[in-house]
Chains A and B, each alone.
Chain A
């Protein structure tokens, strides 16, 4: 085990912790921006440090294709290659294959896929995934899991869950650098509480450095989503980090943190920047919108980032979706926003004012008091009283939830 996880403060299930990794001492809850190919949207590593990034995620599948894990290894690992002094996490590569390649086929041996280079069939086994990740050298590496879409039901879910458990042993056995890299197991089991329970218990038995909750954020309804998170965080050990994969909406981060999750990753903040959408306390701001051309305010008047200090919405309006600089600056703001949110969650838990912080957050996002029902339910389970920012007489949680974009 190459990490230390110390819970510094709690509010019911929510925790503020210090996660000490080989390359960085992190504060949780934390968000990991996705640097697929060893970089994030034109931002320099100095800028990423300025924004407060603690861990960057690299995609094993992409890195294995180019520049190849052998080359990264030869050049002393990904940290050195991209000159990132802080922590890194790599995924197993399995999810990318299943989501990007039509011809991926999963068998007991591993994931068979068609090579995007020469079209030949290739096989990614749990052993190979770990070997590649050992070469890349991230602080946290992920076990190869059998990924199924959350929308799929039936025996395939069960098969995938048991296979994930069988594969974790192969991953552990193949892991050559346990003193420098932390192998996280991934809880699968779809939306079925019984399967999730079996998977959690199976993984906990293996006493891994950390655990991820996988198979979510794939289009399942929000009620199922938070219930799975709540169930898993409730059953995972207190003294290990918990990582909800693919979560990146600010609201989801707040809810999952209330339920006791610690880590998140998502392409959302940078991807949405490319389309001209800014993350703001009120939700999102579409900078492409015509009205922005006449708006002299900063993107978020309460934001202290370089972009908000310098630029008006009107100027950003003319840059976004057209110029490289537009997505660069907006990615900077969006990541700054999410990093600030994580820091605020950490300090509010630490200072005992977590519910007040959550209420303030929800009030800004839902000024009418129309907090979605699923959020209210999740917060009830989390033991966070948000009644002060909900107007229950509205009774239209469903409608308002749908009318809000990105939720």
Chain B
């Protein structure tokens, strides 16, 4: 087991560009590392997003989850229901600027006062990055030296750094990530090298064009090649940025090769700055990322399981071994989640998780959600997104406690073991 040391780093203003007056509404972001294991690895800290201009400051503990959004709002949970989620844990939202390509012009967003005002979410922090991993995905074969190509709701679009920064500056997110050329794991070494070169060049362009204000996270790519990953991370670390975004995951690499790649990247990065990753989502992937020293996760896992009719049920209390795995397997469980479409829940008048305090579990039964799924009513997704988000945020809280308590490695191992045992039993 690792011994945790408390390593308080003096909060520093993350200065991005020399002329601070260019910042429009967001103050400087601060990251404060609270505790980390010897020799890198899992770490806990706090991330403070400055307020101003009608926008509140947001302070969250890390490791933390960015909630997935569509056009800036959670997929099925309307803004008046958002306060029922744990706070401040739920106050970091992911945003893809490309969601607005089809309807709202940048000048209009600007006129409406930026994202926070347009969405009526002044108490939330927005992290903008191109990919949403649902509708907006990198299409590497359309990318060329002038810009990155994406599949978006309005077809394939080539986005140049200048256009991207313009979009960002109208939206004024708290944090934004520089434009990257993300490639899947299977491309040639040559193409992978090119993606690192382009990503670095576009990053410098983004920084020099920065009229956006907000804090910039530099994009790190490099596919499945450790050397390229290191080259990219080292170069990005040289720039004066607020933090780092690690891209290129969840694009065909194997789970097995991930720890090596993540370790290589994180070792090149200064410890006092936050690291955000995209493309990891399963609970065990989150643990893998935390173990490597990742602080922020942009994940569509909740969205995908919600759409599939699943509810997260794995025990959050490390001491609990959970319900008999045999029983759960019968009801379509895989230890982490249950499928509420299963007829097993037709008459189940218990909440999804007995002691869960979320809006869904406080008010509704599995039988009702099973019915809503059967008749294709949208409230099913609303209730599931509420519970799943609540539960997943609880998972992150447990992770933070484990890091601070110095038993993260054990917690990680236990989780993986229980999952494996369960799957073995389920096979019988």
Contact = CB atoms under 8 A, between A and B. Distances in A.
Given A312-B112, A318-B103, A44 B359 contact: yes
B375 A62 contact: yes
A83 B379 CA distance: 13
A38 B372 CA distance: 8
A106 interface: no
B368 A82 contact: yes
A118 interface: no
Contacts of A323: 70-71
A47 B78 CA distance: 10
A67 to B, nearest CB: 4
Given A66-B371, A71-B346, A329-B78, A43 B379 contact: yes
B347 A37 contact: no
B1 interface: no
B104 A315 contact: yes
Interface of B: 70-71, 73-76, 78-81, 100, 102-105, 108, 111-112, 118-120, 153, 346-347, 349, 359, 363-365, 367-368, 370-372, 374-375, 377-379, 381-383
A47 B81 contact: yes
A50 B80 contact: yes
Nearest to A305: B80
Given A318-B71, A319-B71, A42 B375 contact: no
B79 A306 contact: yes
Interface residues of A, number: 42
Nearest to A317: B103
Contacts, number: 122
9 contacts: A38-B368, A38-B377, A81-B371, A83-B368, A306-B80, A309-B120, A315-B71, A315-B118, A324-B381
Contact of B377 (A39, A45, A306): A39
A293 B375 contact: no
A392 interface: no
B71 A325 contact: yes
A314 B119 CA distance: 11
A45 B363 contact: yes
A75 interface: yes
Q: Which 10 A-B pairs have the closest CB atoms?
A: A310-B120, A318-B103, A42-B378, A39-B379, A67-B371, A37-B375, A318-B104, A39-B377, A306-B80, A83-B363
Contact of B73 (A38, A325, A327): A325
Interface string A330-342: 0010000000000
Contact of A75 (B80, B102, B367): B367
A74 interface: yes
A83 to B, nearest CB: 5
Interface in A30-58: 37-47, 50
Contacts of B76: 42, 324-325, 328
B108 A293 contact: yes
Contacts of B119: 310-311, 315
Nearest to B360: A44
A394 interface: no
A308 B118 CA distance: 12
B126 to A, nearest CB: 15
A318 B78 contact: no
A294 interface: yes
A82 B75 CA distance: 22
Contacts of B359: 44, 46
A296 interface: yes
B103 to A, nearest CB: 3
Contact of A328 (B78, B105, B120, B349): B78
Contacts of A43: 379
Contacts of B377: 37-39, 42
A323 B76 CA distance: 9
Which of B78, B347, B372, B383 is the most central at the interface, judged by chain A CB atoms within 10 Å of its CB?
Answer: B78
A244 B112 CA distance: 43
Interface in A194-228: none
Nearest to B367: A75
B362 to A, nearest CB: 10
A305 B47 CA distance: 34
